[in-house]
Amino acid sequence: MNKKIIIKELGLKDYKETWEYQEELFQSILSIKSENRKLNQEVETPNYLLYVEHSHVYTLGKSGDMSNMLLSESQLAEKGAAFYKINRGGDITYHGPGQVVGYPILDLENFFTDIHKYLRFLEEAVILTLAEYGVVATRSQGETGVWIDVGTPFARKICAMGVRASRWVTMHGFALNVNSDLGYFDHIIPCGIRGKAVASLNNELGVKFVDEQDVKEKITKHLVDLFQMQLM
Q: Is position 93 annotated in a ligand binding site?
A: yes
Strand pairing class (99-105; 92-95): unpaired
* Contact criterion met (CB below 8 Å) for 45 and 33: yes
Alpha-helical runs (H) found in the chain = 15-39, 73-79, 115-132, 201-205, 212-227
Q: Is position 161 annotated in a ligand binding site?
A: yes
Which of 60, 169, 191, 215 is labelled catalytic?
191
Q: Is position 61 annotated in a ligand binding site?
A: no
Query: Computed from CA positions of residues 74, 77, 81, 87, in that sequence, does the dihedral angle turn out positive or negative?
Result: positive
Q: Is position 94 annotated in a ligand binding site?
A: yes
Count the neighbouring beta carbons within 10 Å of the beta carbon of residue 196: 16
- At a CB cut-off of 8 Å and minimum separation 6, what does 195 contact? none
Q: Is position 95 annotated in a ligand binding site?
A: yes
Q: Is position 160 annotated in a ligand binding site?
A: yes
Residue 191 a catalytic site member: yes
Q: Is position 164 annotated in a ligand binding site?
A: no
Q: Is position 92 annotated in a ligand binding site?
A: yes
Q: Is position 121 annotated in a ligand binding site?
A: no
- At a CB cut-off of 8 Å and minimum separation 6, what does 59 contact? 15, 83, 84, 85, 86, 88, 92, 93, 95
Q: Which residues are annotated as a binding site?
A: 88-95, 160-162, 173-175
Would you please indicate which residues are annotated as catalytic (active-site) residues? 191
Q: Which residues are annotated as a binding site for substrate?
A: 88-95, 160-162, 173-175
